[in-house]
Amino acid sequence: MRPTLFCALFLALGAITSAVAPLTREELLDQLEELGWWDIPRDDLPLPALMLRDSQEHQNRQKTQGKAEAEICYEDLNLGCFSTIEGPLQYLGLLPKSPEWIGTKFRLYNALQENDTYAEFDFYNMSTALENDFFLGSDRTVFFITHGFNGSPDQSYYANYASDLRRLYPESNIFVMDWEKGAASINYPQDIANGALVGRQGALLISRLVMDYGFNASQDLHMIGHSLGGQIMNYVSNWLLELTGQLPARITATDPADPLFYDQGQLAWSHLDPDDAHFVEVIHTDCGPLITLAVGVPMEIGHLDFYPNGGVMQPGCISWLEEVINMILGIPSNSTSCNHGRSNVLLYDSDPENDCQFTTFPCDGIENFEQVLTSPDITVNCGGNCGQIGYDSKGSGRHCLLTFSPDEGLCAYLTLKIPPYSLEEKTLKPRAKEMHVLQFLAEGGAPSRGTNEL
């Protein structure tokens, strides 16, 4: 290893482990550049690292070249106009690719389809598809789900969602939006712009249900989005309100993406916030300190914000920064989408029909949560505001919980093992296995196997 590379590596590792004057995000990015950050092929980078490197490159380009002024309209498709001069993409300075290029499709799961099969139709044929009785009726709950950056509806997350929801809500309709080409990892900022158009396409589908079938989105629509897909729900909501005057009943965002959404004074219509639905819940699993360069949103942006294991480091995962350093050194390690993707696992593993129900408790932030980790006894005072992760989650404000890693049995959680709202205070005396996990979390976790999916 070259001496300069060794020194840069030493500085980067020191920035993570030192409690005194840690490097800022910008300073650490500079150190990563010294490490050979830009020399790693795109295909070899962990996806969270790719999101951050693309964001940095885009911001640097805007500083040197400025923002291009442009506008494009799709009024004939009822998708309106997109502009870099004004509107939600003004700060980004990019326009979406065309609807034809993105090729958005929808998968529909309901009782008319056998087992886990689905009906599939593209954006241009959705009216015909709905007329063919794919939609069961105006009194049915509708779930609308989308993947994120570099995602696909073929990822196991979305098959699990569809399977669980069909079982738990047999008379519901479950739409999974497929915009895989528009979300491909060609360029993360461009994918954000594509997401603005895709969000309007999703809103147009829902508006057809409202106008043609009497569907009440404000009462019966539950939208679920992961990472960049969580942010896209903002675009769906805003365009649905424009078309129908209705807001979605509920949005669940699983670790919504942070890069390029909250750091440039963006207006509310450019990112997810509590005004996007009557109830917005967020599961934060990859929102560590700036020094970790995590890609999830750290602040509360919903009516209910869950922070499993403090929202920073999930059991069985390592940080993507460790992954990048391992790549530079040629050391194999697990995928760092692990923290980011854990939010999906927690949602679909929380099953009201078995013992896996993630009961949560109010927390005052990561500092308070760390106090819980180091307490000999865990005393939880919910004050009547215990919460629960799930498709019908409960609670309000900021909530925390402890979990094990999937290898140890994810649902062996260390929280209140009682129905929510039934007890004001409970002192838990950790068993041997739970004490092991407390120590594991307090020490920052250890490498284990993860998932490649975002």
pLDDT of 191: 95
A 10 A CB-CB count for 76 gives 6
Q: Which residues of 52-71 are buried (b: 16+ CB within 10 A; e: fewer)?
A: bbbbbebeeebeeeeeeeee
Give 376: exposed, middle or buried? Use CB within 10 Å, 0-12, 13-18, 19+.
Answer: exposed
Q: Is 59 helix (H, G, I), strand (E, B) or coil?
A: helix
A 10 A CB-CB count for 388 gives 23
pLDDT of 62: 72
Note the pLDDT tens digit of each residue in 387-437.
Answer: 888 888 878 888 887 776 555 554 444 433 333 322 333 333 333 334 433
For residues 116 and 266, which has the higher predicted lDDT (pLDDT)?
116
Rounded to whole angstroms, the Cα distance separating 345 from 157 reads 7
* Tokens describing residue 410: 């994810």
pLDDT at 9 over 70: no
pLDDT at 168 over 80: yes
Rounded to whole angstroms, the Cα distance separating 34 from 5 reads 7
Number of H helices, E strands in the chain: 14, 15
pLDDT of 222: 97
pTM of the model: 0.81
Highest mean pLDDT, choosing among 57-61, 161-165, 201-205, 213-217: 201-205
- Please give the full DSSP string across 172-202, using - where no structure is assigned: -EEEEEE-HHHHSTT-HHHHHHHHHHHHHHH
Report all structural domains of the chain as residue ranges with CATH numbers, in order of start: 1-66 (no CATH), 75-404 (3.40.50.1820)
A 10 A CB-CB count for 423 gives 14
Rounded to whole angstroms, the Cα distance separating 47 from 53 reads 10
Task: Please identify every residue annotated as catalytic.
Answer: 227, 255, 340
A 10 A CB-CB count for 154 gives 14
* Tokens describing residue 335: 């995928």
- Please give the full DSSP string across 82-136, using - where no structure is assigned: EESSSSTTTTTT--PPPHHHH--EEEEESTTS-TT--EEEEGGGHHHHIIIIIS-
pLDDT of 333: 55
Note the pLDDT tens digit of each residue in 58-70.
Answer: 877 777 776 677 8
Cα 148–chain centre separation:
8
* Tokens describing residue 317: 């995962």
Identify the helix (H) or strand (E) that includes residue 307.
strand 304-308
Note the pLDDT tens digit of each residue in 208-261.
Answer: 999 988 899 999 999 999 999 999 999 999 999 999 999 999 999 999 999 889
* Tokens describing residue 319: 């940080």
pLDDT at 372 over 90: no
* Tokens describing residue 255: 């670790």
* Tokens describing residue 247: 């807001």
Note the pLDDT tens digit of each residue in 96-150.
Answer: 999 999 999 999 998 888 878 899 999 999 988 888 766 776 568 999 999 999 8
Nearest to 15, CA basis, from 259, 289, 366: 289
Rounded to whole angstroms, the Cα distance separating 70 from 68 reads 6
* Tokens describing residue 249: 């009943």
Q: Is 280 left (phi over 0), alpha (psi -120 to 50) or beta?
A: beta
Rounded to whole angstroms, the Cα distance separating 358 from 307 reads 12
Identify the helix (H) or strand (E) that includes residue 226.
strand 221-226
Nearest to 107, CA basis, from 116, 97, 99, 96: 116
pLDDT of 91: 85
Is residue 106 a contact partner of residue 126, using CB atoms and an 8 Å limit?
yes
The angle that helices 3-17 and 320-329 make with each other, rounded to 10 degrees, is 160
Note the pLDDT tens digit of each residue in 302-346.
Answer: 999 998 878 877 777 776 667 667 766 766 555 547 888 889 888
Q: What is the CA radius of gyration of the chain?
A: 22
pLDDT of 422: 28
Nearest to 312, CA basis, from 444, 127, 176, 161: 444
